[in-house]
């Protein structure tokens, strides 16, 4: 499983992650796809200009943001298809009525890969070696899919509103394909959604922070009790020293005029002794 190339979601660069997962390598960057999007925008602008650059339709077009990319990192199906044509690969709608699509609907395992899109999110389902994997960048890693579940999974995606495309053509050779062609892998634990992992980390951080605050409070209480204990010990030591001073210093009764003077004198001598 470690040999499978899988990019985790960064920003809204799912188009980039989808293509690289399909090709099993870092073949495209956001800059590459942005350049393709700009090229498509320019081609569309030329077509719109054929109707007259002073037309309301053309003016609305040039003033509108690009439909092929945005600042978040999203790329349109035209950009994805243009990137795949670099590798002589085509996108064919899964629900179409042509021969390839009908064959895929009957038995999805006869194809090599699928690209899925819903609400501007792209991800790849691909056969690597002899097994199928969901390479969604929103997951912590590749998800193993059985041949039986592949059909159910595609039906489920369609019901959820996903657009599914068959990747038609010969995919470039990859190390994972070579390795997994010789062995069957198992997956004891399914990958989790990154959003769930991040949420769990946030809760753990908050819990640790709460424990730290409780520890701080306990430490403050221990210090307070220690200070009070020291103060009490010092007070007792003072009383003991005073008592010892009075007992060990005999003086004539008439040396002091009053009992208060005697006590004051004893206290001073105790303090001097300390």
Indicate which residues carry an active-site annotation.
14, 121, 136
Return the closest-CA partner of residue 61 out of 71, 46, 74: 46
Give the DSSP H/E element, type plus range, for residue 128: strand 121-128
Question: Sign of the CA dihedral 156, 76, 141, 146?
Answer: positive
The C-alpha atoms of residue 147 and residue 132 are separated, in whole angstroms, by: 7
Alpha carbon separation from 237 to 182, 226, 269 (Å, rounded):
83, 16, 15
The C-alpha atoms of residue 81 and residue 89 are separated, in whole angstroms, by: 8
Mind giving me the DSSP string for 135-198?
Answer: --TTBSS-EEE-HHHHHHHHHHHHHTT-EEEEEESPPPP-HHHHHHTS-----SSPPPBHHHHH
Return the closest-CA partner of residue 18 out of 167, 217, 231, 215: 167
The C-alpha atoms of residue 264 and residue 260 are separated, in whole angstroms, by: 6
Helix (H, G, I), strand (E, B) or coil at 22: helix
The C-alpha atoms of residue 24 and residue 17 are separated, in whole angstroms, by: 10
């Amino acid at each position: 499983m470690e040999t499978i190339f899988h990019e985790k979601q960064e920003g809204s660069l799912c188009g980039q992650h989808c293509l690289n997962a399909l090709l099993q390598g870092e073949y495209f960057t956001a800059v590459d796809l942005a350049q393709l999007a700009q090229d498509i925008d320019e081609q569309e602008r030329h077509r719109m200009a054929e109707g007259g650059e002073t037309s309301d339709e053309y003016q609305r077009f040039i003033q509108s943001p690009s439909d092929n990319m945005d600042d978040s990192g999203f790329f349109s199906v035209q950009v994805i298809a243009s990137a795949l044509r670099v590798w002589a690969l085509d996108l064919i709608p899964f629900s179409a009525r042509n021969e390839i699509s009908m064959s895929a609907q009957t038995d999805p395992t006869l194809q090599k890969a699928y690209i899925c899109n819903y609400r501007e999110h792209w991800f790849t389902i691909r056969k690597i070696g002899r097994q199928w994997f969901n390479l969604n960048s929103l997951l912590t890693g590749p998800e193993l899919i059985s041949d039986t579940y592949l059909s159910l999974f595609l039906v489920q995606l369609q019901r959820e509103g996903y657009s599914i495309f068959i990747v038609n053509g010969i995919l470039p050779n990859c190390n994972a394909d070579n390795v997994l062609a010789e062995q069957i892998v198992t997956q004891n634990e399914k990958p989790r959604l990154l959003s769930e992992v991040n949420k769990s980390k946030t809760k753990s951080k908050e819990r640790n922070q709460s424990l730290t605050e409780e520890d701080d409070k306990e430490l403050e209480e221990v210090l307070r009790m220690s200070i009070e204990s020291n103060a009490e010990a010092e007070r007792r030591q003072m009383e003991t020293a005073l008592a010892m001073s009075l007992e060990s210093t005999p003086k004539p009764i008439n040396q002091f005029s009053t009992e208060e003077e005697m006590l004051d004198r004893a206290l001073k001598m105790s303090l001097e002794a300390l």
